[in-house]
Amino acid sequence: RPSALEVLRAASERGGGAAGKLSLSSATAEQLEQLDGIGPTLARRIVAARDRGVLRSLDDLAQVEGIGD
């Protein structure tokens, strides 16, 4: 099973599903939850980190609790 970081990287780089590429800079928690391995808590943490300016690149996702652990 891929890690949450791998799932998010793939969604950002190749497309998040039928709707196409998922933008981590604008995705809602609900959109993130549609990805395998991303539940409501992790989706909220990702959005909160993005809103605080912590996420400047995909590598910064490792700073989100539950991803980089």
Q: Each residue of 7-56: pLDDT tens digit?
A: 888 888 765 554 557 888 889 999 999 998 899 999 999 999 999 998 88
Residue owning tokens 């933008």 = 23
Tokens (6 digits) for 51: 């809103």
* DSSP classification of residue 17: S
Is 1's pLDDT higher than 80? no
Tokens (6 digits) for 16: 């998040």
Nearest-angstrom CA–CA distance, 2 and 69 = 14
Is 69's pLDDT higher than 70? no
